[in-house]
Structure 1
Amino acid sequence: MKKLIRIAGIVLAPFALASLAAPASAQFGGIGRVINDARNAAENQDEDEPQTQEECVQDSSPSVGRAVLGGILGRASRDVANRAGVSSFLPVAEFSDQLTGAIACRLDPEEQRQAAEATMAATRGTDDGSGAEVGATSAWVSETREGVSGRSTVTSRDERPGQGLDCIVVSDVIIVSGEETRADKRMCRRPPSPRYAIAA
């Protein structure tokens, strides 16, 4: 009998919570929102929702359970981050060969384009095909947000004989609302191609 009551309680609990969602939201200012967040996350797990900084850098696709948990906790963390002036964005796949996750996550899509173009400008090299020059720098200032800027600088050359690759190290620095983020990336090209891409 106790087992039957326990099973009935488990089955009826979600219905009880759903029926309390509206009054609970009014009384406690958020339980109903939490239930809606969980439901929306489960239904919309494939949509491009902003991730936390850690999720963005890890660049992993969420499971259903993680999406539901993210729906519950994501709003709270995003609210706190937005109040603090810190935003997290999804990396744009088009620029994944030019930007690291640590940098892309701090920039909106248009800023990611600007940062990727700065990297390509810094690594363009000379007309003789010798590749990027150490010390070459390209800077940018956001066209969409105030207080956001960055630069890419070729800091060293890493030629690996026998592999036919020309590799360099590029340092990216961005400033978002006074907070500096720095990331180094190893980029390679196979001559005669002029374009460098992040090496795995």
Structure 2
Amino acid sequence: MLRFTGALIALVAAAEPGAAQFGSFLRSITPPSSSSSSSSGSDDGTCKRGQRSKGAAMMGQMFGNATSRALGSTGIAQFVPIPEVAGVLSDAIACRLDQGEQKQAATATQTVVRQGEIGTSSEWKSESREGVSGTSTLTARSEESDGSSCVQVTDVIIVNGEETTVPKKMCRARGASGYTIAA
């Protein structure tokens, strides 16, 4: 065990200069991100736990992957939203679900939006993981001044006993065929 710990420390120490180089490079070619957050889960295409530099995030992921391979997975999963659900699921929901679960959650949302009746719910249960399920419920409808039609949908997921609830506003522009999460 002592040898493994020493190897792990050596791995992190050897990677440190790379983190500094990549972090500086990435900061020089990408604009700083804003640090706004929303209780309804903003959709910026990422799964964030906190603001970190790209270099630190990259090194953290490399270190986490190496540790997981060496020690085994801890069972805590953080997934990446797939493009098919980008306009339908919030990141706060998608980041907790694998690809199949994301599709199931998106289908539940689309079902309640299509039915269009306030109070309509659609439930799903994961086909890939025990203890993962969710519900989408249509909670409100509105017509906006620009002619778009909007709905309020509340998504609830349960992952290993931990509940995450995220309300989202979805709108359909006049003449458009589907609803997407409003910014």
Provide TM-score, normalisation by structure 2. Answer: 0.70
Question: Is the helix fraction higher in 1 or 2?
Answer: 1
Give the 3 Å change call, closer, same or farther, for CA 61–168 of structure 1 in structure 2: farther
Describe the SS at the equivalent of 2:158: strand
Describe the SS at the equivalent of 1:107: coil
**Paired residue type of 1:97:** G
Distance in 2, Cα, partners of 1:183 & 1:146: 22
Describe the SS at the equivalent of 1:68: helix
2:162 corresponds to which residue?
Answer: 179
Contact 1:25 1:31 in 2 (8 A): no
Give the 3 Å change call, closer, same or farther, for CA 98–33 of structure 1 in structure 2: same
User: Sequence identity of aligned pairs in percent?
Assistant: 40
| Shift in Å, 1:37 | 6.6
Describe the SS at the equivalent of 1:56: coil
Distance in 1, Cα, partners of 2:78 & 2:69: 8
2:99 corresponds to which residue?
Answer: 109
Contact 1:167 1:188 in 2 (8 A): yes
1:149 corresponds to which residue?
Answer: 133
Distance in 2, Cα, partners of 1:190 & 1:111: 28
2:80 pairs with 1:90: yes
Structure 2 counterparts to residues 74-85 of structure 1, below 5 A:
82-83=73-74, 85=75
2:117 corresponds to which residue?
Answer: 133
| Shift in Å, 1:189 | 1.1
| Shift in Å, 1:57 | 3.8
Whose radius of gyration is greater, 1 or 2? 1
**Paired residue type of 2:130:** E
1:100 corresponds to which residue?
Answer: 90
Distance in 2, Cα, partners of 1:197 & 1:117: 13
Higher-RCO chain (CA-CA 8 Å, sequence separation at least 6): 2
Distance in 1, Cα, partners of 2:163 & 2:69: 20
Cα-to-partner distance string for 1:60-94 (whole Å, 9 max, x where unaligned)? 997345423443366569999x53x3311011122
Give the 3 Å change call, closer, same or farther, for CA 78–113 of structure 1 in structure 2: farther
Distance in 1, Cα, partners of 2:134 & 2:69: 24
| Shift in Å, 1:27 | 6.2
2:136 pairs with 1:158: no
Query: Mind listing any 5+ residue stretches in structure 1 that lack a counterpart?
Result: 1-23, 46-54, 126-131
Provide TM-score, normalisation by structure 1. Answer: 0.64
Contact 1:153 1:172 in 2 (8 A): yes
Distance in 1, Cα, partners of 2:67 & 2:170: 37
Q: 2:12 aligns with which of 34, 48, 59?
A: 34
Deviates more, 1:114-123 or 1:26-35: 26-35
Contact 1:37 1:71 in 2 (8 A): no
Describe the SS at the equivalent of 1:171: strand
